[in-house]
Amino acid sequence: IARSTISLCYQPLVNLATGGVDCVEALLRWQHPTLGDVSPSEFIGMAETTDLIWPLTEWTLHEAVRQLREWRRQELAVRVAVNVSARMLQDRSYPERLAALLSGSGIEGAWLELEITESAMMADPQRALSVLQRVHELGLQISVDDFGTGFSSLAYLRDLPVQALKVDKSFVIDMHERSDNRIIVDSTAQMAHALSLRVIAEGVETRWHAEHLTAVGYDYGQGYYYSAALPPEQLRAWISTRRACAPVRVALDESGSERATG
Ligand code: G
Ligand code: MN
C-alpha cells in the first residue's frame, strides 16, 4: 500500500452537555489510483487478515500524534480517538512504543483515546488487561467501540481499565422506529453512568436522535447529523463555524439590562 494514498479524516464527537467539540475520531481513508476511494470497512478487514494491519495501525497512531501537534500550534484543543486492532492488544511491547512516541512528540497521553472492540478484548483477556493497564497509566482514555455487537462478557467492563462506551450505530440509527433498540440505547446510558463510564452514541443521523440521546443522558454524539469525517483543515473550519453559530446565552443583571454570559 503506497502511503501517499492513505490519509486520516476526523469525525467530531459532539459534547451533548455543552454543544462543543472536544474530541474527534480518526478514520482512515484510502484513495486508490484506479479504484478511487476504497471503503475502510473493506481494506481494514483485509489488512486484519494479513500482517499489513501492523504498519497501518502504527502509521495511524503516528499520524494522529503529528496532527495533534499541528492542532496544538493552531490552538485547537481536541483529543483524538484512534481505532486499535485486536492484534495490538496482544503485543506486550505496544505500550512502550506508545510511550516513546508520546515522549518524543511532547504530546501528553491525555490527548489520545484508544477505541477497542469487545472482541479484541476477549481474544486473550489476561494479556489485554496488562497492556491496557499500562496504556492507561500513560494517561490515555480507553473506550469500547461498537458496544453491544460483540459476543462477549460484561465482566470486562468491571475488570478492564475502560472509561467510555461507544454504543454501536446499528442500535441508534433506527431507534425511532424500533422500541427494542431504543430500550437498549436508553438503558445502556443508565448502566454506563452507574458504572461511572462515559457513554457515546454513534450513528446520530437526525435532530430527533440528538435530542433523544441528550435527554437520556448521553455524554457525546457522533454521526452524520453533525458531520461525516473530514480532512483536518475542513474539520478545523467546521469547528470554528459551529462556535460562531453557537447560541449566546443571555442573562439579566441586577440593573435589568442584558448581559451575554458566553
Ligand atoms: O466502527 P466505527 O465506529 O469505527 O465506524 C465508523 C464508521 O461509521 C465510519 O466508516 C463512518 O463513515 C461511519 N459513520 C459515521 N457516522 C455515521 C452515521 O451517522 N451513520 C452511518 N450509517 N454511518 C456512520
Ligand atoms: Mn471507532
Is there a contact between 237 and 21 (Cβ–Cβ < 8 Å)?
no
Identify the pLDDT of residue 96. 95
Identify the pLDDT of residue 40. 76
Identify the pLDDT of residue 245. 75
- Summarised one tens digit per residue, pLDDT across range 199-210 is 999 999 999 999
Is there a contact between 7 and 234 (Cβ–Cβ < 8 Å)?
no
Give residue 85's identity as a one-letter amino acid code: S
Please give the number of the atom of ligand 1 that sits closest to the Cα of 223.
19
- Whole-number Å distance, alpha carbon 219 to ligand 2 midpoint, is 16
Instruction: Decide which of 148 and 42 is more confident.
Output: 148
Sign of the dihedral defined by the CA atoms of residues 216, 147, 98, 130, in that order: positive
Identify the pLDDT of residue 152. 74
- Whole-number Å distance, alpha carbon 223 to ligand 1 midpoint, is 7
Beta strands in the chain (DSSP E): 6-15, 21-32, 36-38, 79-83, 112-117, 141-147, 164-167, 198-201, 220-221, 250-252, 258-260
Beta-ladder partners of 30: 6, 38
* pTM of structure: 0.89
Of the listed ranges 15-24, 86-95, 131-140, 218-227, the least confidently predicted one is 86-95
Residue with cell 457522533: 222
Q: Which ligand is nearest to the CA of 115?
A: 2
Pocket of ligand 1 (CB under 6 A): 11, 27, 40, 83, 145-146, 169, 173, 202-205, 223-224, 229
Q: Could you tell me the pLDDT band of residue 246, with boundaries at 50, 70 and 90?
A: low
Of the listed ranges 39-53, 65-79, 95-109, 172-186, the least confidently predicted one is 39-53
- Summarised one tens digit per residue, pLDDT across range 91-144 is 999 999 999 999 999 999 999 999 999 888 888 888 999 999 999 999 999 999
Beta strands in 66-218 (DSSP E): 79-83, 112-117, 141-147, 164-167, 198-201
Q: Could you tell me the pLDDT band of residue 247, with boundaries at 50, 70 and 90?
A: low
Report the mean per-residue pLDDT for the chain: 89
Of the listed ranges 94-108, 140-154, 163-177, the least confidently predicted one is 140-154
Instruction: Decide which of 220 and 39 is more confident.
Output: 220
